Amino acid sequence: MGRDRIKILDGGMGTTLEAMGHSVNSELWGSELLHTNPEIMAGIHRQYAQAGADLVETCTYQLTSGNLSNYLSTIQASKTSSSPTFSYNENQNNDTSHTQDHDHDQDYDTNSLFCRSIDLVHTAFSSSPLHGSSINTVTHVTHSHQRTDKSKDVVFSCGPYGSTLRPGAEYSGLYPPPYGPSSSGSSEVGSDKAMNNFESSVEGQSQEEEAIRLLTKFHLDKLLTVALVEETWRKIEWIAFETIPLLYEIKAIRLAMGELYDLLRRHYWKAETLEDGWYKKKFWITCPFPNSQFPQMGPNGYHVEIDELMDTLISPTMHCQGQGQVGEAVTKPIPMPIPNGIGINCTNPSYLSSLSKEFTNALKGQLQRQREREQRPKVSFVCYPDGGQVYDVHTRSWSTPLGGSDPDEWAKGLLSIAREVEKAKFKSNDNKNDNDNDNDNDCGDGKESERNSEGEEYVWDGVIVGGCCKTSFDEIRALKTNLDKMYEKE
Domain-wise residue ranges, the chain: 3-28+47-53+165-487, 29-46+54-83+99-158
Contact between 31 and 37 (Cβ < 8 Å): no
pLDDT of the chain, 490 residues: tens digit per residue: 678 999 999 999 988 998 899 888 787 888 999 989 999 999 999 999 999 999 999 999 999 999 888 888 887 777 666 554 433 333 434 443 333 333 434 444 688 999 999 999 999 988 765 443 344 433 333 333 333 335 689 999 999 999 999 889 999 999 999 999 986 433 443 444 457 999 989 999 999 999 999 999 999 999 999 999 999 999 999 999 999 999 999 999 999 999 999 999 999 988 666 677 899 999 999 999 999 999 999 888 899 999 999 999 999 998 765 544 444 555 678 899 999 999 999 999 999 999 999 999 999 999 888 766 666 789 999 999 999 655 555 665 545 654 556 899 999 999 999 999 999 999 876 544 444 444 444 444 443 444 455 678 999 999 999 999 999 999 999 999 999 999 886 6
**How far apart, in whole angstroms, are the C-alpha atoms of residue 450 and residue 424?**
8
Residue list, annotated binding site for Zn(2+): 346, 468-469
Contact between 463 and 486 (Cβ < 8 Å): no
Q: Measuring CA to CA, which residue among 211, 226, 216, 306 is closest to residue 264?
A: 226
259-314 per-position pLDDT tens digit? 999 999 999 988 666 677 899 999 999 999 999 999 999 888 899 999 999 999 99
- pTM (predicted TM-score): 0.83
Q: Which whole-number Å values give the CA distances from 217 to 146, 193, 210, 255, in the listed order? A: 44, 26, 11, 9
Contact between 480 and 19 (Cβ < 8 Å): no
Q: Measuring CA to CA, which residue among 316, 345, 66 is closest to residue 214?
A: 66
Contact between 17 and 44 (Cβ < 8 Å): yes
Q: Does domain 3-28+47-53+165-487 have CATH number 3.30.1910?
A: no
Residue list, annotated binding site: 346, 468-469
H-run or E-run covering 75: helix 65-82
Contact between 212 and 248 (Cβ < 8 Å): yes
Contact between 61 and 158 (Cβ < 8 Å): yes
